[in-house]
A and B are shown apart, each in its own frame.
Chain A
């Protein structure tokens, strides 16, 4: 066993030191009927590295890898080019094999990058503070809804129909049990883009409204000015929670903070992390300074050591489960440390100049694809103002069109009915376009889409 260093002689000598004759003597507390006398039946035995690699490689090859095909899927996870140095650096053993920095004197590496990460996220979102990460964007939204309830002491949250339906579902799951009331909308073809429900939301607000949740760009790619909505929300004493699922958009779009957000949650997977079939991703969580003591999750703060040198520690931990137990702001413990490092490295490589360029490049490519796709007979562009993702209406069911395009080697988007089953969006296709899309990829998409809509 290549990972186990003890030899049979070691084991014998150690048993002797312990004062028992066999390893079974160390498991005496296990009731006799639960003790297994040998390896569990029906399971394979250990294998050499080469054979494990062979078997896993076989499974990996059965998947269509995004980078090997014209690729236009988004809807909450975006494929961007990650510079080679990011993956190299996060594999340094001192980062990869460390843990939550409980001993700050020997974890300044982790703590300093967390402080840098928190600052970058605050700058990007236009907020005062950010925490050291959550699991992903969807769980970050759930936490934000609970945080708003703690701040406002009100029980109802209104969620725009443009918010990613998986985020809404994840939040509904918990609210069903906690008694928090969620009022959600479902987008319809006539009302796409879903930001059309802002007026309705404003009309619904009352004295029990804790927060209003909107996404920008929304799930149809539509970008909106949230300034008026924010003012209306604040006039009712409620909080505005803004969801950002494509963080690269913040290099081009007015930040949620500039538009009046109180809490910003988001998915940071676009920078440094990759697709990974949905996880691990990176939850972002930012808010205004006055609400920091109601935040969930870890926070890193600056301080000094006994010799007066600057250093960093985890702080405000009286909010957290390991101190406060059942009175904690959240039960989160392990979060997305290594993903926040990947994000910070990628963001550092880009800098503001690179991020703005990257965002502009995404937008320009998306504009080109939108123009080309809208020119296909029978295809109608539904999103007028967008960043790097938009919705189109096809003359045929979109989910089948996606499967047919995949047969032609093109991963051409997501059928909206996969996200909103039964909402009458059967013919709506969501198309995301990042800097990774090449001119020949665009040609391939147009060819494939033209063919499937003419069938």
Chain B
């Protein structure tokens, strides 16, 4: 070691000089700036080598694209670098705690990624002959079986492409069921604590939406809801556990009353992670519920999708489920690897009147998010019935640990009414008279190296902060987060506001001007004016 030193100090001595002047590049060591591909690339550059084009007689006759498109290319090396540099400006679960309430940002196991990329799953076309995709259909059938057993529901639609698409699927089945008996109900009741997709979905399929208030304990006001039921109400959309992180003990009573009034119960399953393996929605009178595979079953959120939102149905709604779907039937003898079973994808032509004639139809082009199905089944098989139950328990334990570790320095509006489920809700009461907001706390949390919690949602409390740690966080990680939150809460209350007002200080960007973005929208890159003149 000593011969390598050659008089150079190997550890910092004295004061480290702080150099705040801008660097030539705008970079700060590992914090790297990156231009847009439109600024660094060129339409003349390509990062792929393709075979030469053989001689041929064009069949495009006159429809050839002639003008410049303007798409820039980069060499492979520069492409890898561009996107790697961009990736470093992002926060992900792989970096640390991501307590975004109601989003269930849990660890994404890499086995699932590997399985989804097996050629037999990833490189299969949805319109191949069914005998050439028996394994893919088997996988869908297996996952469907798990979802039905975990929820105690007799049917499941696998095609919805995300949670909101699942809501649409459920609500369309409800509409189809009412129409089948000539009942033109027009109103859907939605608690005010509901996620925005609930009212948007009900409106999207043609319903009038009415809000139901929350009670003082953070649950839907059961009396108000029951009082509103009537011959015009088609369905109630309810989230349980709800967006305040609380389980609604009245759900079964509500379901019974809703059914007695001739309506259906749609349950938003976004928060299924709190109860998976411990409570089955089918035991609570639910008629339809979507399951976000990208939440409870760990398929990666991918910066905003893809999701996957299968919907489980009660017996009453099962006949109206969408096409296509997979059924298991006896195989003809001699089919290789069949074990006597053949999987059949029921599409429009084979959905006979007696078989599935009441289906409300098709929701999307093909059979659903196969890539997500593989990942979800891999996750489910890895956990098993015992592990999934442990998932719910640890998710709820972690959230309550956070709730009880912070309630003395923050304000938890419903903490008195008992334990929470998988997420802990705080409001901005503890910031009263400090001049600070929920947003300030969230931005200061960024400087501490965490992704902020969900802010300003649900709408039923003021300045909401919804914290969902998930079960994949260790106690050490939770303690570090709790320490950071306690420090921030204490600082806020002791008038130490400077660290909040301009936070974040250590992120790739300081606070961004969202008002400007909306007033003068710039949604695509525009060439500099000089270039545009030159092109004309």
Contact = CB atoms under 8 A, between A and B. Distances in A.
A5 to B, nearest CB: 4
A333 B162 contact: yes
B145 to A, nearest CB: 9
A96 B300 contact: yes
For the complex, would chain B's binding face be called helix, strand, loop or mixed by DSSP majority? loop
Contact of A169 (B67, B362, B378): B362
Contact of A105 (B206, B397, B443, B524): B443
Contact of A4 (B86, B92, B366, B387): B387
A47 to B, nearest CB: 6
B532 interface: no
Contact of B304 (A62, A93, A100): A100
Contacts of B86: 108-109, 112-113
Given A60-B118, A106-B508, A52 B378 contact: yes
Nearest to A51: B381
A139 interface: yes
Contacts of B79: 85, 89, 345, 348-349
Nearest to B515: A303
Interface string A402-426: 1100100001001001100110000
B111 A52 contact: yes
Contacts of A135: 161-162, 165, 305-306, 364
B460 to A, nearest CB: 14
B419 interface: yes
B128 to A, nearest CB: 6
Given A46-B383, A280-B305, A304-B516, A367 B128 contact: no
Given A176-B361, A331-B167, A363 B72 contact: no
Contact of B471 (A4, A65, A133): A4
Given A3-B109, A135-B364, A292-B521, A46 B92 contact: no
Interface in B262-278: 275, 277-278
A139 B396 contact: no
A119 B390 CA distance: 45
A455 to B, nearest CB: 17
Interface in B485-528: 502, 504, 507-514, 516-518, 521-525
Contact of A435 (B50, B168, B204, B381): B50
Interface stretch (A182-190, A228-236, A315-323, A443-451): A315-323
Contacts of B167: 331
Contact of A339 (B134, B306, B474): B306
B210 to A, nearest CB: 10
Contact of A305 (B107, B116, B121, B510): B510
B259 interface: no
B361 A169 contact: yes
The number of chain B residues touching the other chain, given as a range, is: 35 or more
B287 interface: no
B87 A95 contact: yes
B511 A62 contact: no
B279 A96 contact: no
Given A135-B165, A355-B69, A66 B124 contact: yes
Contacts of B116: 276
A305 B511 contact: yes
Interface in A1-36: 1-6, 10-11, 13-15, 17-20, 23, 25-31, 33-36
Given A40-B280, A331-B200, 14 more contacts: A43-B384, A53-B115, A64-B128, A94-B88, A97-B300, A173-B363, A277-B121, A303-B516, A306-B502, A334-B305, A335-B304, A348-B41, A354-B47, A406-B131
Contacts of A75: 127
A307 B503 CA distance: 12
The 5 closest A-B pairs by CB, nearest first: A351-B73, A278-B366, A60-B120, A93-B94, A338-B302
Interface stretch (B1-9, B55-63, B425-433): B55-63
Most chain-B CB neighbours within 10 Å: which of A123, A128, A307? Answer: A123
Interface in A57-77: 57-68, 71, 73, 75-77
Contacts of A361: 50-51, 53
Interface in B29-62: 34, 36-38, 41-48, 50-51, 53-62
A191 interface: no
A277 B36 contact: no
Contacts of B346: none
B214 interface: no
A347 B307 CA distance: 23
A103 B196 contact: no
B365 A164 contact: yes
B319 to A, nearest CB: 16
Contacts of B94: 93-94, 96-97
B15 interface: no
